[in-house]
Amino acid sequence: MLDNSVAHRSIHTTEKQDSFPDPKRFPSIAHRVKIRSLSGRFAVFPVQSTRLASEAAEGRQAVAEGAEDAARQSDAPMGSSDVHICRNDATNPNARAPRGFNGLPKAGKELIVDGTALLHQIFKSLKVQSVCWTITQPSSFADGTPFQKDDYKRWLRGQSDFTRWVMEELGRELTRLGLPNRWLYVIEPQEERWRVYGVLAPHIHAVIPNRWIPTKQNPHKDKGFGASGYWALTIEDLDDIIARCAARVMGRAVDCRSAGNVDKIHGLGKVGQYMSKFDKIGNYFSKGSRIMKDIQESEWSGYIPSNWYGSDKETRQQVRSSVEVHELGEGSLFQAAAAIAAFNEVYESETGKPMFACVHTHWIRKNGERVPYGEPVPEDAFPVAMTGRINHLRDIEIGTMVLQAMELNTIPIPLEHLDSSY
């Protein structure tokens, strides 16, 4: 049971807002928590069949989506700008947008972020290394001729085939070398080329397995008969895959000398860095960024990739099955935030670090508009979800237990009398 003073004192530090709305603004109804057990992201949301869901037509949809927003962190929360990424084609509002037009969907973001943690666990158990393989779109042919605008557009027309061919060839190489055929990738719009050169030139980040062989010669370091170690799946092997697939797309040899890069993902800290990086790639397609809107309204709108992410089938299935949903009983989001804040205060006093981070309550107005993060909550707004994450990957197990054990009706509200007519 939480002390009233602790709950009241802690709620402000959890939300990271100057003024927290009156507890009377939070209706007491049945809630659930969705926990992504691989990444530690979570969302607390009201059960859709409550009176809250009938406040507004768009509000109903917002409630339904509340459980799927656990991936969004507080640096780019729901409704953080006026940019509107919708399901329609910006160049033709009456037509439904083609597949991929609006970028990375929530399911894709969850797969990439949670899948990164999953693959690290799998690779570690198999005693192989996790590496990030980055494939940057080439900008010239093998004879030195630079790509022109039409060449970039030809590449984009073949982007889906290129990505599929690359991952197929990668799978064959992994199998040949006795490495697990497990992988995932996300495509990034490469903001710098767009801003500086005005061309859409996506590049691919892939998490793949590899094995370091200490007795193997490194062609970039070793001279004579010495051996300092090198990868089983070499950088040259990966570059050859890129070159072959690029030539199939462009119809001639392409300069791929600087297209590929391999970076070892070592330890949970580095895994967390890549999860954060991939999470931010997803924000290119959220309301926090204008890049997709600019691309949608440009001459490149017809060349947007049809798909921005992917993985092997087993990884996709394991990520989906890792999501847990638990009943929290009758109560309010205020009580959930109070419980999390109070636990954070106790846990931080004992360990020097909070258990939960980026906790944020999402609000929507009766006309369906979302309230931007950090702005005062209007009188006609109501809460639709509270999202956050377990601060460290190593704490996911205990953090999950805390979230599962919350019973909202047992958490005190720091007011003696509440108006129940909301």
Taking only the tens place, the pLDDT of each residue in 70-81 is: 334 433 332 222
pLDDT range class, residue 284, cuts 50, 70, 90: low
Report whether pLDDT(25) > 80: yes
Reply yes or no on whether the pLDDT at 113 is more than 90: yes
Confidence tier at 267 by pLDDT (50, 70, 90): confident
Residue-wise pLDDT for 228-238, tens only, equals 888 999 999 99
Please state the rounded mean pLDDT for residues 195-218.
90
Amino acid making up residue 98: P
422: confidence class by pLDDT, cuts 50, 70, 90: very low
pLDDT given at position 196: 87
Inform me whether the pLDDT recorded for 286 exceeds 80.
Answer: no
State the pLDDT confidence band at 344, using cuts at 50, 70 and 90: very high
User: In the chain, what percentage of residues exceed pLDDT 90?
Assistant: 49
What are the residue ranges of helices labelled H in 251-390?
267-283, 291-296, 313-321, 333-351
Q: Would you state the pLDDT for residue 78?
A: 28
Q: pLDDT at residue 53 above 60?
A: no
What b/e string do you get for 78-110 counting C-beta neighbours within 10 Å, with b at 16 or more?
Answer: bbbeeeebeebbbeeeeeebeebbbbbebebbb
**Band of residue 21 on the pLDDT scale cut at 50, 70, 90:** low
Residue 89's pLDDT is: 46
Inform me whether the pLDDT recorded for 120 exceeds 90: yes
Backbone angles phi, psi at 287, to 5 degrees: -70, -10
pLDDT tens digits for range 33-48: 999 999 999 999 998 6
Q: Per-residue pLDDT for 182 more than 60?
A: yes
pLDDT mean over 202-224:
87
- Domain residue limits, the chain: 4-86+325-410, 106-306
Least confident of 171-180, 261-270, 317-326, 346-355: 261-270
Average pLDDT in the 303-320 region? 93
- Which residues does residue 261 pair with via DSSP β-bridges, in sequence order? 134
Which residues on adjacent β-strands are paired with residue 370?
A: 364
Residue type (1 letter), 110: E
Which spans in 352-407 are helix H? 396-405
Q: What is the mean pLDDT of residues 274-278?
A: 83
Q: Which residue has the higher pLDDT, 95 or 343?
A: 343
Please work out, in degrees rounded to the nearest 5, the angle formed at the alpha carbon of residue 136 by the alpha carbons of 109 and 118: 35
Six token digits for residue 139 = 């900008």
By the 10 Å C-beta count (0-12 exposed, 13-18 middle, 19+ buried), 16 is classed as: middle
pLDDT at 98: 63
| H or E element in which residue 106 lies | helix 106-125
Nearest to 249 by CA among 385, 153, 357, 177: 153
Please write the tens of the pLDDT for every residue from 378-413.
Answer: 888 989 999 999 999 999 999 999 999 999 988 887
pLDDT above 70 (res 248): yes
Burial degree of 223 (CB within 10 A; 0-12, 13-18, 19+): exposed
* Confidence bin at 61 (pLDDT 50/70/90): very low
pLDDT over threshold 70, residue 145 = yes
Can you list the positions of beta strands (E) in 5-128? 29-36, 41-46, 88-89, 92-96
Q: What rounded mean pLDDT belongs to the chain? A: 80
